Amino acid sequence: MLRFNRVFRDGGGFDSALVLLALAYLVFFSAFPLIYNLVISFQSVDLFTIATFDRPFVGLENYRDIVNDPLFWPVVRNTILFVGVSVVFQLAIGLALALFFRLDFPGATWLRGLFLAGWIMPGLVVGAIWGWLLAGDFGVVNWLIQSLGLTQQKIFWLSDPSISIYSVIIANVWLGVPFNMILLSVGLAAIPADVYEAAELDGATRLQRFFTITLPMMRAQLGAVISLGIIFTLQQFDLFAALTQGGPSNASNVLQYWSWELAFREYRIGHGSVVSVFMILVVIFVATAYVRSTRHEHVV
Amino acid sequence: MNIAKLMGAVALVTLSTPAWAEPVTINLWTVDRPGEYHYKMAEEFSAKNPDIKVNVRSVQFPDMVNELAKAMATGEAPDVTYIDNPDVALFASRKLLLDLKPMVDKSSVIKLDQIFPGPLASVSYKGGIYGIPRGANTIALYYNADLFKAAGLDPAKPPKTWDEVYDAAKKLTNKDKGVYGLAFSAAASEEGTFQFLPWLQMAGGDYNKVNVPGGVQALALWKKFIDEGLASKDTLIRGQWDSTGTFNAGNAAMDISGPWELPRMSKDAKFDYRVALLPVPKDGAPRASALGEGDNVIVANSKHPKEAFKFVEYMYEQMPRVWNEFGYMPAYPVKVDKPNYPQAYEVFNESMKFARNRGPSPDWAKVSKAIQTAIQTTLTGQSSPENALAAAQKSIDGVLSK
């Protein structure tokens, strides 16, 4: 007992217990599902074998089916488009707003706080609202652009296959901007004011200050925001469910939605897992980049 | 003597029911919410049968198949449950549902030959009977008689054939006023299949034979509705409820949907709306209509099949009430006194004779998906109706040959 006390209180026992607790949590809730998902992707799984572990292994068959599926490349292309365009615009608008709110004007902080309202709203609610805004026949957006005389024809934002993916992107950018803005604001606040003052005294213009001070000193934050943006965007499911269901004719289908469709609409659970394995690989790659960018932070 | 036995004895004395056995509890899963059909049925049945208690649990409609499969795999399935009719074959093919045929044959309540062919087909699988329809629904053509008059059409003569419905849609479409000729659903979901299948069946095809000239003709007509602006482009992503919303608002002059729309329509639609049978390809062609609603089924390893069947019988007996109280069509011909929405009831009731099952196929979800893909690739112009249906036929053959 004494010995235990000594180890636990004074030695490394307590530290190890804390670490083990966190580790156990990770193993249970992260590692296990990930590995389980990987295992399922090599098995033939349907609704009725989902509760047992004893399922036939089919090797790479599921992978072959998915890669040869005529939907595979269009869906990959859509996913890259969705993630790429979303992240670029979220970041650009988020940074612009962060810089804007850095200007000291009355109400700046609380206006900035209000922006967060959008971010805390559930995706399905945001999706439903954008659904009304973008509706083809009676949508607010169409009414607006028609009354402004920008177009005579209605734009079928959600049901025109060449446009629908961009409609989801618009909603997703709106949803992601506040998060980007807040994270970047924090980064901006950490840059010491005297650096700017010194540069100003030396005659640096606003633009020069932005490119030689702000951007380099924000490197870590930008890296983090971009990585998190990619991960969040890859997770974006609700907006697709609420707006287009990946349609029409899969024109706005992306990996995360396709995976769900395969597993829970067609009950091809093994195939759905294959798609999510692909996504995990991408996320691991991005997460590595994120970890590296935050490691950089400690040096600064 | 335990408490249950004691209570049994008390029940015997007070109610003088021959309840020597302990009260039996049967579990019921439903897609209804409290106050709706199954809750009412359970309450009435338990009141009439004090020795049988019915526990009701609600499951969201889209989750029913998943939840049930999970529960069956882990042995926690209910005794009686609701299953949407195209999903019966999925569970029956795996012997997870009780074949009711032996009990039905002896039943004095349930008569199979009474049931409309569509609902009966939906519970039949390889010679067995795996459920009893709790009711049914189907689709028909709603039309706005006021807009018919305004367009110079006779509201007493709604379109009967595909050519007529096309002509009427053309005459009724008024772009300046934002009125489409027709509203329907071609969504990439079960609803799209539900709406398209009757067109295919009237033209000589079915779920296992989509690649027929009539199917091409039907799909080409649907494409014409969209391309010529007679129906909204949003038809591709909109379900029946939202499509009918545009009809109720006066933004579509005709609409294809089912009787579930009537309560809302009677409130929202400020015009003379009427219902007609779905138009057929040409005069004299066979009719078909969709079959909706679902079935009361008994799970194969239920511990109380007898009591469960008694409950299913009770529900079957209530068929004359389903239209006025719950808004479904009766699944066998019954006499309904003073039906709500009499004109609509008459048409839907007539339509029930032609309502046809989706499937049966244990892989219905995959068959349905192939049909949806054909509809969507055609209507977006990615594929011709011929190629789309040929592709669908190929995937359906693959699914059904397994």
CATH number, domain containing residue B317: 3.40.190.10
Sign of CA dihedral B359, B360, B361, B364: positive
Sign of CA dihedral A69, A74, A76, A82: negative
As a whole-number percent, the residues of chain A with pLDDT over 70 amount to 93
As a whole-number percent, the residues of chain B with pLDDT over 70 amount to 95
Q: Is A160 on the interface with B (CB under 8 A)?
A: yes
Task: State mean pLDDT over B343-356.
Answer: 95
Domain boundaries, chain A: 65-120+174-299
Same domain for B40 and B99, yes or no, is: yes
Give pLDDT, residue A4: 64
Confirm if A42 and A58 have CB atoms less than 8 A apart.
yes
Tens of pLDDT, residue by residue over A139-166, are: 899 999 988 888 878 889 999 999 999 9
Same domain for B281 and B396, yes or no, is: yes
Give pLDDT, residue A6: 66
What's the N-to-C CA distance of chain A in angstroms? 46
Alpha helices, H only, chain A: 2-5, 13-26, 32-40, 61-68, 72-102, 108-120, 123-134, 140-147, 164-190, 193-201, 206-209, 215-217, 219-235, 238-243, 255-260, 269-299
CA distance B270 to B258: 19
Residue B148 belongs to what domain range?
140-290+363-400
Minimal CA separation from B42 to chain A, in Å = 28
CA of A269: which chain B residue's CA is closest?
Answer: B66
User: For residue A205, is pLDDT > 90?
Assistant: no
Identify which has the larger pLDDT, B7 or A94. A94
Give pLDDT, residue A289: 81
Same domain for B24 and B104, yes or no, is: yes
| CB spacing of A137 vs B178 below 8 angstroms | yes
Please name the residues in contact with A36: beta carbons below 8 A apart, sequence gap of 6 or more: none
Same domain for B392 and B350, yes or no, is: no
Tens of pLDDT, residue by residue over B296-309, are: 999 999 999 999 99
Same domain for B246 and B388, yes or no, is: yes
Same domain for B300 and B285, yes or no, is: no
Give pLDDT, residue A296: 58
CA distance B197 to B347: 19
Task: State mean pLDDT over A276-300.
Answer: 79
| CB spacing of A247 vs B233 below 8 angstroms | no
CA distance A264 to B358: 20
Among candidates A81, A121, A112, which has minimal Cα distance to A242?
A121
Same domain for B351 and B372, yes or no, is: no
CA distance A300 to A96: 24
Same domain for B177 and B80, yes or no, is: no
Give pLDDT, residue B12: 45
Q: Which residues of chain B make contact with A245, given a CB cutoff of 8 A?
A: 187-189, 237
Same domain for B157 and B93, yes or no, is: no
Give pLDDT, residue A252: 93
Tokens standing for residue A169? 């992107």
Identify which has the larger pLDDT, A147 or B392. B392
Q: Which of A135, A250, A264 sits opposite B234 (nearest CB)?
A: A135
| CB spacing of B189 vs A245 below 8 angstroms | yes
Tens of pLDDT, residue by residue over B129-141, are: 999 999 999 999 9
Give pLDDT, residue B402: 77
Round the CA-based radius of gyration of chain B to a whole number and report it.
23
Superfamily of domain A65-120+174-299: MetI-like (1.10.3720.10)
CA distance B312 to B307: 9
Minimal CA separation from A37 to chain B, in Å = 17
CA distance A30 to B373: 35
State the best of B380, B395, B399, B402 to mutate against chain A, taking most chain A CBs within 10 Å.
Answer: B380
Q: Is A110 on the interface with B (CB under 8 A)?
A: no
Same domain for B104 and B236, yes or no, is: no
Task: Read off the amino acid at residue A99.
Answer: L
Same domain for B99 and B214, yes or no, is: no
Q: Which residues of chain A make contact with B234, given a CB cutoff of 8 A?
A: 135-137, 156, 158-159
Phi and psi for B273 in degrees, rounded to 5? -105, 145
Tens of pLDDT, residue by residue over A119-136, are: 788 888 999 999 999 988
Q: Is A47 on the interface with B (CB under 8 A)?
A: yes
User: For residue B11, is pLDDT > 80?
Assistant: no
Domain count, chain B: 2
Count other Cβ atoms within 10 Å, centred on residue B76.
11
Q: Which residues of chain B make contact with A135, given a CB cutoff of 8 A?
A: 234
Tokens standing for residue A101? 């709110």
Same domain for B146 and B115, yes or no, is: no
Q: Please report the ipTM that was assigned to this predicted complex.
A: 0.80
